[in-house]
A and B are shown apart, each in its own frame.
Chain A
């Protein structure tokens, strides 16, 4: 009996750090590229419409499309297409907002990221993740922390913290094509 508590203490103290080698990732699309972000960072996916309208924020910094009411809080929505130097959404184009909890600038930030659509949730094992090749100086490889190859497609594991903390517009297309070129068999 007495040992029960001791075991409990030991186990809570020492074995909590155990991690699974497989992790779930949310797969989403931006134009033709596939990206994945760990589901642990995703709080919710918002369909924009009646209930959730993005309120434009006048004089907002670049690539911020506005703010949205998320569970009573007001969170900024990042126009990922603009952030990645892609063509902006046209007026009636549909999109979803992925609400993420990201830690950058030393604090937890809840932000929304516009995305064309979410595709799937997939399990990715650590061995499957290929490191980003070091070739090519034209992009900052900090933005992508790995690439996986599934069903003949490349999926990029995006380092959203870096992306959001950075003030610059990131030339995603370039990064994507360069990564692919170097990895293409």
Chain B
């Protein structure tokens, strides 16, 4: 008894503590930085590739500089010193380039790409413990220094117009938004950056109206231009209104007098009072000043509106939304079931409507999680560029249908197989230019990445116009490795499947790109994990096509719910070909052979009772579910077919990850747990046993 009351009290008391604890966790902010830095570096890659096309584009150069500067600033705050160091050096180079004292060349671009890779590596290894990384770091920094020193006239950044002309005065209205605190932007650095470009003459808080957040007015005087001040404020740019107050130092009374007539041509002007120390400034701007502010505000609003079309959402929030939706779906299907009971006729229409609505809601929520494949393309561009350079091959990389959308988690998972497939196409598929010319092809090879919707599935194809797969070559290799006895009677499909066996590598010599014996087996395994299918077609001399067929979402699946003994299992509905029944006796008599005669075809089968050692009362008839997977068939025998179930799939965690026949679980309407059978692996086990 004590036990029960105690647990209840415990759960109530500690629930909140635990959740509030984790929210404030400091590591979250570090994660946030890593996220942001990763995004920035990703954007860097595509910027650099664009720069390669037109190296004169000053906007792109400016962008590189900004990204480096941003990462430098923030990484220092979180203790990523190596990153801070490297970005600082890179920033110097691009500073010289944008000043025109250095010209962008291929060497710089190539090395910048290496630097981007190094920065990615440093995000994971902040203490630079890996020796290779440390060595590369040294090389890169000394290279940076060399480039900077070799530039025509190494001139310091601010020195350009010191003592030239008169100083300018800028006013910055800084909105101390809660987000700044939340995002852990360190305002000290911003203030320090400001002090670097000019002299801060005053910082004063402005009167707060209503529940508005605090605002400060900062006056900076010095020899700099709009761009410098924008750079200094880059972390808090969106919270600032920057405007030029005067082309002279308004705090210098002599200058002020000189310029007084010019500035104060209207009567109602002297609102810019020169603040005394500690006194707050009331800043009612004059007409001249108000004008630019207005247009500034307008353009700001316009740009905010533009950003509103896309909303960046924390993926955890989406996960939670999905969780709620799945609970809703579960409850609503439960309700739907009950509504068929007597006496509930009156509420039936409403329940049916609720059911429809929640399904629409589910589809909509799933839709939100969809991401176009396009987001991965810059990475692939980079990969193809690097590898083709490396191998001395000429490649045209064509993408098609990149607006096709996939669930966020699928995008994450499909990236790895796609990389392997592209590498294979580059390394094994496309021939060297000379070979291609000999074969009468264009010296430039084409690799095509194509995606499209096919019914409920998403299809991604990687194809090349290279030499194609040499069937005989694979058979010989397969025999050498002892994977097969002879190559006779093997269908093309079976031959290509050999390539996906672990440890199979056909590359005559092992290159750094592929052919390390991992590759196709990883591709196959990853795709199987996503419950997808892999298909290979090839024509000798013409090229090879790898086709991946995926479900749009791997989180929710239409399934068939079956029971055996007391256990409930789920089968993906898309794999189910036909349902039938047979007397249990005849099933059991065939168990040793594990094949059964169905419609004049010998079909391998599993009996769930037998497979999992289940007991309990048996029906006279066993239910047969015929599964078609990867173009082969097998049968599953269960006690009872219970109906369709929209399964919200849940992984079962690290401890039971390696389970062979069961890949996920789902909670049924009544809270019971049902297991999803892994048709891929059952299929594979059956066929290997048969051979």
Contact = CB atoms under 8 A, between A and B. Distances in A.
Is B truly associated with A? Answer: yes
B565 to A, nearest CB: 9
A79 to B, nearest CB: 11
Given A45-B10, A96-B3, A118-B6, A55 B672 contact: yes
Contacts of A153: none
Contacts of A118: 3, 6-7, 10
Given A16-B26, A51-B671, A72-B323, A5 B655 contact: no
Interface in B1-47: 3-4, 6-7, 10-11, 14-15, 17-18, 21, 24, 26
A181 B675 CA distance: 46
B667 A69 contact: yes
Interface in A86-131: 94, 96, 104-105, 107, 109-111, 117-118, 120-121
Given A6-B187, A109-B655, A118-B7, A43 B672 contact: no
B295 interface: no
B661 A76 contact: no
B110 interface: no
A24 B327 CA distance: 33
Contacts of B658: 61
A45 B11 contact: yes
A64 B656 contact: yes
A96 B14 contact: no
A18 to B, nearest CB: 11
Contacts of A61: 655-656, 658-659
Interface stretch (B344-352, B391-399, B646-654): B646-654
Contacts of A33: none
B484 interface: no
A164 B651 CA distance: 18
A69 B216 contact: no
A163 B484 CA distance: 42
Contacts of B321: none
A12 to B, nearest CB: 6
A17 B204 CA distance: 31
Residue among A2, A53, A105 facing the most chain B CB atoms (10 A cut-off): A2
Given A58-B614, A59-B661, A61-B658, A4 B673 contact: no
Given A2-B214, A6-B187, A69-B673, A58 B18 contact: no
Contacts of A67: 652, 656, 665, 673
B655 A26 contact: no
Contact of A59 (B4, B7, B659): B659
Contact of A47 (B4, B176, B612, B671): B4
Contacts of B654: 104-105, 107, 109
Residue among B24, B187, B666 facing the most chain A CB atoms (10 A cut-off): B187
Nearest to B666: A74
B571 to A, nearest CB: 15
B205 interface: yes
A76 B656 CA distance: 7
A70 to B, nearest CB: 10
Contacts, number: 132
A9 interface: yes
Interface string A5-25: 110110011001100000010
Interface string A59-81: 11100100111001111101000
Contact of B655 (A13, A51, A164): A164
Contact of B650 (A4, A46, A73): A73
Contacts of A120: 6
Contact of A69 (B205, B567, B651, B671): B671
A42 interface: yes
Residue among B4, B203, B323, B655 facing the most chain A CB atoms (10 A cut-off): B655
Contacts of B261: none
A109 B653 contact: yes
Contacts of A158: none
Interface residues of B, number: 53
A74 B673 contact: yes
B186 interface: yes
Interface residues of A, number: 54
Contacts of A60: 656, 659
A44 B653 contact: no
Nearest to B658: A61
A166 to B, nearest CB: 11
A68 to B, nearest CB: 7
B156 interface: no
Given A39-B14, A40-B18, A109-B654, A2 B673 contact: no
A59 B612 contact: yes
B26 A26 contact: no
Contacts of B665: 67, 74
A120 to B, nearest CB: 8
A13 B180 CA distance: 12
A75 B204 contact: no
A64 B26 CA distance: 34
B672 A76 contact: no
Interface string B653-691: 111101111100111000111010000000000000000
Nearest to A56: B567
A1 interface: yes
Contacts of B675: 57
A121 B187 CA distance: 42
Contacts of B181: 5, 8-9, 12
Given A69-B667, A76-B653, A111-B653, A55 B673 contact: yes
Contact of A117 (B3, B11, B666, B672): B3
Contacts of A45: 7, 10-11
6 contacts: A2-B214, A5-B187, A9-B188, A43-B15, A55-B567, A96-B7
A-B pairs, top 8 by smallest CB distance, nearest first, are: A58-B612, A74-B665, A45-B7, A55-B673, A74-B650, A1-B205, A76-B655, A2-B205
Interface of B: 3-4, 6-7, 10-11, 14-15, 17-18, 21, 24, 26, 176, 180-181, 184, 186-188, 203-205, 214, 216, 323, 326-327, 330, 567, 611-614, 650-656, 658-662, 665-667, 671-673, 675
Interface of A: 1-2, 4-6, 8-9, 12-13, 16-17, 24, 26, 39-40, 42-47, 51-53, 55-61, 64, 67-69, 72-76, 78, 94, 96, 104-105, 107, 109-111, 117-118, 120-121, 164
Given A13-B186, A58-B567, A72-B667, 13 more contacts: A2-B214, A39-B18, A45-B11, A47-B3, A47-B4, A56-B567, A59-B662, A60-B659, A64-B655, A74-B651, A74-B673, A96-B3, A107-B654
